[in-house]
Amino acid sequence: MDAVKAGGVVAYVTCSPHPAETTAVVSDVLRLRNDLELLDAGAALDAVSLTGNLGAGHESTAQLWPHLHATDAMFLALIRRKP
């Protein structure tokens, strides 16, 4: 995150539903750095979806599922370096 300017956003994306590769990674990064904040990834996906509501949001991250979204089990977190 040191390479990201203040106010910049990093999208952390994986094709995994496993907490060790998704929410645990995000939690660790946020715990170690007080200059970062989590944006609402579910709302961001809803804003660009054709239907307007994917229902993929969970807290501030998003998890897509094959049986619900016809995708791989993709995870998204949007992390912003505070201005």
**Residue 67 bears catalytic tag:** no
What separation in angstroms does the CA of 12 have from each of 22, 24, 50?
Answer: 9, 12, 22
Annotated catalytic residue within 1, 9, 11, 15? 15
Structure tokens at 50: 């054709």
Q: Which residues are catalytic?
A: 15
